[in-house]
Amino acid sequence: MTGQDLLAPLGKAFGPKIQNKNEFRGETTSTIPAGDLHEIAAFCRDQLSFDYLIDITSTDNYGEEPRFEIVYHLYSMPHAVHLRLKLKVPEDSGAVDTVSDIWPTANWHEREIYDMMGIKFNGHPDLRRILMWDGYPFFPLRKDFPLEGLPSEMPDVAFTKVTPLEGGPFVTVPSTETSKDREPRARPPEL
């Protein structure tokens, strides 16, 4: 069965709710309204055999409205077909329905998106930070979050002042030193 054959019922069942459909390199991307996510995701799993949620990603389109975009990467193991569901989320609502009841692995993906972007998932069983500490007031993957970081009032948990990114966070110098000593922020500026 081809991807087109497998996805034909999706277009028939949801017609106008599929706002845009793109085909690229044998993979289909469908843009859907955020309010219809749960219904369409359940249909994809139950009727089209998309039994594997590979990933959920998010994008911050700072300066545009709607600001956020969430992409669900699905895979049908029986048919070896990929499908992406894209939806746009306005900053003021900043919430979509969870799909963790459809694909349990969505639990951690949704928590990470909440933690890094601030997008909430209605009906999520345990929506709390997964990478940053409780009480951290910022969302580090938003485009308006400064690259140099923000001051923290939590000593011994994170930097207590803005930390410069001298040379970038991943630039190191080859040596036999430990990674802590090779990291640019650990080295004094060269004279």
Which pLDDT score is estimated for 165? 45
Break the chain into its structural domains and give their ranges.
3-145, 146-191
| Total Cβ atoms within 10 A of residue 90 | 12
User: For 38-62, what is the mean pLDDT?
Assistant: 96
Number of C-alpha atoms within 13 angstroms, CB side, residue 4? 5
Q: Which of 40-44, 70-74, 93-97 has the lowest mean pLDDT?
A: 93-97
Q: Calculate the CA 146 to chain-centre distance.
A: 19
Backbone angles phi, psi at 83, to 5 degrees: -145, 135
Whether 14 shows a pLDDT value over 70: the answer reads yes
d(CA 96, CA 1): 32
* Calpha distance 117→21 (Å, rounded): 26
State in Å, rounded, how far the first CA of the chain is from the last one. 65
In the predicted model, is pLDDT for residue 72 greater than 60?
Answer: yes
pLDDT for position 166: 46
The set of residues, in sequence order, having a beta carbon less than 8 Å from that of 24 and lying 6+ positions away, is none
Q: What is the DSSP string of 42-67?
A: HHHHHTT---EEEEEEEEE-TTSSS-
Please write the tens of the pLDDT for every residue from 124-183.
Answer: 999 999 988 888 888 989 998 877 666 666 555 554 455 444 444 445 556 676 655 655
pLDDT tens-place string over residues 74-110: 999 999 999 999 999 998 877 899 999 999 999 999 9
Quick one: which H or E segment has residue 22?
A: strand 20-24
For 82, the 3-state DSSP assignment is strand
Least confident residue range of 6-15, 38-47, 123-132, 147-156: 147-156
Element (H, E) at 76: strand 68-76
For residues 177 and 184, the answer to whether their CB atoms sit within 8 Å is: no
User: Running DSSP on this structure, what letter comes out for residue 69?
Assistant: E
> What integer pLDDT is reported at residue 8 of this predicted model?
87
Q: What is the pLDDT of residue 167?
A: 45
CATH 3.30.460.80 fits 3-145, yes or no: yes
Q: Which residues contact 42 (CB under 8 A, 6 or more apart)?
A: 102
Provide the token pair at 175: 């040596």
Q: What is the mean pLDDT of residues 25-46?
A: 94
